Amino acid sequence: MSYTQIILEKKGPVAYITLNRPEKCNALSIKLSAEFADAVNNVKSDDDLKIVVFKGAGGNFSGGDDITEFPKWGTTANIIERGKLYQHTADEIEGLNKVTIAAVEGACVGGGLEITMVCDFVIAAENSRFGIPEIDIGMTPGWGGTQRMGRLVGRRRIREMILLGTMLDAHQAKEVELVNKVVPAGKLQQAVDDLIGLVLTKPQDILVLGKFIILKGLEADLHTALGFEVVAGALNTTTRSMKESTTSFSQKTPLWRNRREKAEEYYREYPW
């Protein structure tokens, strides 16, 4: 598929998927949604990729669905199929065996916010605004927001955001765990690059296994989830990654020191 409303770039082990309708605040048109789903499938099948970054063009992440297209959505059956495409795409992003990062600036509302909810990390510029205001145009969320948001921010906050349409600034979004880190607007790309550098220091096979345990554990009862953890721990001991990593830790070689230094830098406040 050729793309006109998104941009897919691959740079070494990192893919960048950019929502590219800046004149429409990167609204999720029918065409953009189809291209986006195709791009997600593309990166899923590329074993050379370790990280996928999602972002928006023109100073905004996404303003959500393109309401000018609502008359084109068709019958109830058509709309259900569209909703299923949304949710399938979100599921695919969440389950990718790669680290996913949302780089957010400006508007991040509706379906745009729901896309970030399935990413592993969300880095937001200070000028970001977050919300699910579909209630004000007579709609409910369609990308999975009613369920995923409740697993992230809690029942009280989800009622405010979905039933009242309240908006959050970047710092408020971080307080309720919709965002990992807030940075000055001009430093967003640097912050994303720093996170990419940190992720790439980690043993990728163990990182993917850890992601799998977290996701599947949240879907299971506690004792089943703990069983996943035990089995994964046993699998770790057979990997080359664990042998190299434990040796590096014991000998304090650059491999281990670099991982720890970058991890500690990530948690420090940025100096600007």
Render pLDDT for 73-114 as a digit per residue (tens, 0 to 9).
778 888 888 888 888 999 999 999 999 999 999 999 999 999
Evaluate if residue 130 carries a pLDDT over 50: yes
The active-site residue, picked from 94, 105, 114, 160, is 114
**Of 147, 168, 199, which one is at a domain's C-terminal end?**
199
pTM assigned to the model:
0.92
Residue 207 falls inside a structural domain: yes
Residue 272 falls inside a structural domain: no
77 with 88, same domain: the answer is yes
Evaluate if residue 66 carries a pLDDT over 60: yes
Sign for the pseudo-dihedral over CA of 229, 234, 236, 237: positive
94 with 54, same domain: the answer is yes
Residue 257 falls inside a structural domain: yes
165 with 54, same domain: the answer is yes
Evaluate if residue 64 carries a pLDDT over 50: yes
Residue 145 vs residue 204, higher pLDDT: 204
The pLDDT tens digits of the residues spanning 186-245 come to 999 999 999 999 999 999 999 999 999 998 888 888 888 888 888 888 888 888 888 888
142 with 165, same domain: the answer is yes
CATH at 263: 1.10.12
Residue 14 vs residue 146, higher pLDDT: 14
The percentage of residues in the chain with a pLDDT greater than 70, rounded to a whole number, is 99
69 assigned to active site: no
83 with 195, same domain: the answer is yes
Confidence of residue 272 (pLDDT cuts 50, 70, 90): very low
Report the chain's C-alpha Rg in angstroms. 19
Residue 131 falls inside a structural domain: yes
The active-site residue, picked from 92, 134, 160, 265, is 134
The pLDDT tens digits of the residues spanning 254-268 come to 888 888 888 888 877
Residue 72 falls inside a structural domain: yes
**Of 172, 199, 226, which one is at a domain's C-terminal end?**
199
219 assigned to active site: no
Give the count of domains, the chain. Answer: 2
261 with 147, same domain: the answer is no
Evaluate if residue 34 carries a pLDDT over 50: yes
Residue 126 falls inside a structural domain: yes
Sign for the pseudo-dihedral over CA of 200, 215, 233, 268: positive
230 with 131, same domain: the answer is no
220 with 190, same domain: the answer is no
Would strands 129-131 and 107-109 be described as parallel, antiparallel, or unpaired?
Answer: parallel
Q: What mean pLDDT comes out for the span 62-76?
A: 85
Output the pLDDT for position 92: 96
73 with 195, same domain: the answer is yes
113 with 220, same domain: the answer is no
Q: Which of 48-57, 88-97, 171-180, 258-267 has the lowest mean pLDDT?
A: 258-267
Q: How far apart are CA 89 and CA 81, in angstroms?
A: 12
Output the pLDDT for position 269: 60
Residue 270 vs residue 78, higher pLDDT: 78
Output the pLDDT for position 270: 54
Output the pLDDT for position 25: 97
Phi, psi torsion values for 131, nearest 5 degrees: 180, 165
Domain that holds residue 24: 6-199
Mean pLDDT of the chain: 90
CATH at 52: 3.90.226.10
Residue 181 falls inside a structural domain: yes
185 with 211, same domain: the answer is no
Stated length of the chain: 272
**Of 149, 173, 199, which one is at a domain's C-terminal end?**
199
**Buried/exposed code over 98-118 (b: 16+ C-beta within 10 A; e: otherwise):** bbbbbbbbbbbbbbbbbbbbb
Residue 237 falls inside a structural domain: yes
DSSP, collapsed to helix, strand or coil, labels residue 226 as helix
Q: How far apart are CA 272 and CA 265, in angstroms?
A: 14
Output the pLDDT for position 176: 93
Evaluate if residue 61 carries a pLDDT over 90: yes
12 with 87, same domain: the answer is yes
Evaluate if residue 271 carries a pLDDT over 50: no
